[in-house]
Amino acid sequence: MTDTARLNSDKVFFGITPTSWWNDDFLDIDIGIPFEQCVSEMALAGYSGCSVGHKFPADIAVLKQELALRGLRVSEPWTSLYFTIADMHGQTLADFAHEPSAVPFAILGMCGYLAGVTQAPLTSLVIVMEMTTQHAMVLPLMVTAAIGATVSKLLTPPLYQTLAQRFAGAAPPPPAAGDTDVTNASDRGGESQ
């Protein structure tokens, strides 16, 4: 039975990206849905938040008013990556550098810590990206995960191997080669071999 008290709307806010209504990466892919229709449909569908799309008002006061009218709020930022498009590499880095909150740094710290503890940088990268939906941060996350895992490998033994050895140490050691008495009398219920 699930504990629905932990998933109530006071604690969990469900948001959606306007990509379901138009494409923010390729602006020519558009069937003409206006901003007002997009956010109204988001609210009618039961979402409480959204990311900001290119058709959203640039004026913060107007944006807040339009979203509040529908019971919505901005729940996540979206940053498009342009590393494969010539001359857009700098724009992607500039977008990331001007992020107005500490959230990206907290996400990077989370990825670095997880990679350091587990010494599994790719697993840590995928887990953090999926947990936070910050796919635009893939390159900084990759670097952070690699640094975290590398520093950890230099300073500490591998976590999973250490745990496996501890668990293996709790079990009786395997019999030596050529040992014919592989069990104790107590293991066989008092019988002897």
pLDDT in tens, 127-151: 988 888 777 888 889 999 999 999 9
User: 127, 92 in Cβ contact below 8 A?
Assistant: no
Q: CA 94 to CA 51: how far, in whole Å?
A: 19
Amino acid type, 132: T
Number of independent structural domains in the chain: 2
What percent of the chain is predicted at pLDDT more than 90? 23
Answer yes or no: is 157 within a domain: yes
Lowest mean pLDDT across 57-61, 68-72, 86-90, 188-192: 188-192
d(CA 130, CA 75): 16
How high is the pLDDT of residue 86?
67
pLDDT above 70 for 165: yes
Residue 26 structure tokens: 């390729």
The SS3 assignment for 22 reads: coil
**Per-residue pLDDT, 185:** 44
What would the mean pLDDT of 19-39 be, rounded to a whole number?
87
**DSSP label at residue 24:** S
Q: Work out the pLDDT band at 1, boundaries 50, 70, 90.
A: very low
Mean pLDDT of the chain: 78
54 shares its domain with 117: no
pTM for the full predicted model: 0.41
Q: What is the pLDDT of residue 68?
A: 94
Q: Is 41 found in the same domain as 85?
A: no
Q: What is the torsional sign of CA 155, 160, 163, 168?
A: negative
Q: Is residue 142 part of a domain?
A: yes
Residue-number span of the structural domain to which 20 is assigned? 11-78
Residue 69, H or E segment: helix 60-69
pLDDT at 180: 57
Are residues 66 and 106 located together in one domain of the fold?
no
Residue 39 lies in a domain: yes
130, part of any domain: yes
pLDDT at 75: 78
pLDDT at residue 49 in the model: 87
